[in-house]
Amino acid sequence: MFALIYGASAVSTAQTGPATYRVEGTRLIVSGPADVSSEVTLPCPGTRHIVANELIYVACSEGGIVTISIAEPHQPVVSEVSNLDVKVTEFALVGEEVWYQVEKRELAMFPLRDIATHTRRAPPAEPRPPAIAPVAKAPEPRPEVVEKPVGKVVATAPGFAIIDLGSDHGLDKGSSVEFFTHQKVDLGGEQAVSKEQRLTIGVVDTAGAARSKVELGLNEDVPMNASVRQSDLEPTYRSIVPQRVAQVWEASFIARPFLALGTVGGGAIIDAAVTYRFRSPWALDLVVSPFGFGIAEAGNLSTFAVNLLGSLDTTWFQIGLGGGVSKLARLSQGQDFVPAADGKPAIPLSLSIAQFARLGARDGLNVSVLMNFLLVDDAAGDPEFTFGGLLGSFQAPFSAFGQRGWLIARGGGGLPGHVVGEVGMRILLRGNGLAGSLFLTPTVGGESLTEEHYVEAGSTECPGYFPEPPNNGGPPGREPGFCRVRTSYGGPMIGFGMEWRF
């Protein structure tokens, strides 16, 4: 594709004098009348030329144009050499202007008068109608970023915090607020940055002009002077998985008195525990489950099991293992009558291995189970571990009490001779789940106690042992001894439990 270059020099319509010019290699040869001739050495091999206005323009084969003055037609003189980046392929007269053609893939025009500076201009074009400029679309306004005011915690109480932001700062009852602190992060090289650490999301309970009372989630607290600002996040107190409480002691019990059916009397089955939850995800539990007794015409009963467990304790689950001792309701002696010479056999005790597992948050939705494995004698009198019983529990938040009430259901039993089934409520009476909190647990259900024990020979339960008649033929005598008797009774119960954290 070729481009045409235009110039503004005037072109003479006649040759200058009778001289003629031709280019041969690096020579410009001048011929005149009577074969009078001369020549000029060119700085480059020429390919073509044109004569105009006492000037000769010679195109160089390597690119460029040599300008030669012919003011004296028979004595040409090189006046200028212009270097171009492209080759000139042709000269032409267009009207009164000299044009030259170059090897180009775009159109460009060069006036001959500006050839030394290579000034380029667009070629003349036919007039065109003015273009209609498109109407510029106004940019959409950016939403204004409003910095949320940052306040401080000025007072705290169990389950609440007082902050120095209020309705004047855009807060209202039900607004969510974020509590956070700044933590220094060392980047090395003597460089450090401040990083925000979120503590919790609370909800405004009461808003004044410059202060507000904010309700915190269960088991949550915030330090004095912690930073606070309005938030669009959901308050954490609505979660069914409250965070774990650390560095706190827990003491709990539940007593279940019952009336014995079918006899005159009653009794109770009691569970109790003392727990310490460490700062790291560990806990230590001393558990008494069960401790039971019964007093009735059918006989007095008692049983117990106590275990010490260590647990991996997190917000989402707890797994523990330990051991202890348990009383058995079943006697190991297989025969009914024991001669008095051997003495009254003792009620057997057994070593136990205890396992505990909880899936879910301690103060949220969870399922837990405490299992015992007891070391007892088999039929041959050899010791072996056998399943000794369990106590299972289910807990679910009760929306009618907000974050302060749970529905519970428990049930279980085992070789200690007890069976328990109950449903009830766990209610937070005081505090926020942290140290100083108090829980109440009322339940209803049923339970029973069973025990094997020895009675002396001669009673209704044990008539005694009569040996062979003596050799003198006298009446047979009664020999003292003991018989094994099983006693069992139970009935409806009402439970009452308490739990303290300190």
pLDDT one-digit tens code per residue, 163-180: 999 999 999 999 999 999
- Rounded to two decimals, the pTM is 0.63
Contact 260, 490 (CB under 8 A): yes
| 89: CB partners within 8 A, 6+ apart | 2, 59, 101, 102, 103
Which helix (H) or strand (E) covers residue 282, if one does? strand 282-296
Question: Tokens for 359?
Answer: 């899936």
130 pLDDT more than 70: no
pLDDT score at 253: 96
Is residue 340 within 8 Å of residue 326, measured between CB atoms? no
Burial group, residue 196, by CB count within 10 angstroms (0-12, 13-18, 19+): exposed
- The one-letter code for the residue type at 323 is G
In a 3-state reduction of DSSP, which class is residue 238?
helix
Distance CA 304, CA 267 (A): 14
pLDDT confidence tier of residue 501, bands split at 50, 70 and 90:
very high
Cα-flanking dihedrals φ and ψ of residue 34, to 5°?
A: 55, 35
Q: pLDDT value at position 457?
A: 72
Q: 408 is written with which tokens? A: 């519970």
Structure tokens at 488: 């069992």
User: Among the listed ranges 154-168, 188-202, 357-371, which one has the minimum average pLDDT value?
Assistant: 188-202
What local confidence, expressed as pLDDT, does residue 128 receive? 52
User: Which residues is 453 bridged to in the sheet?
Assistant: 485
Instruction: Find where tokens 């970023």 sit.
Output: 145
How far apart CA 416 and CA 330 sit, in angstroms, is: 8
**What backbone torsions phi and psi does residue 114 show, to the nearest 5 degrees?**
-110, 20
SS3 per-residue string spanning 156-198? EECCEEEECCCHHHCCCCCCEEEEEEEEEEEEECCEEEEEEEE
**pLDDT at residue 117 is higher than 80:** no
Give, as one character, the DSSP assignment of residue 35: G
pLDDT digits (tens, 9 = 90+) for 435-480: 999 999 999 999 999 988 777 777 777 766 665 555 555 555 556 6
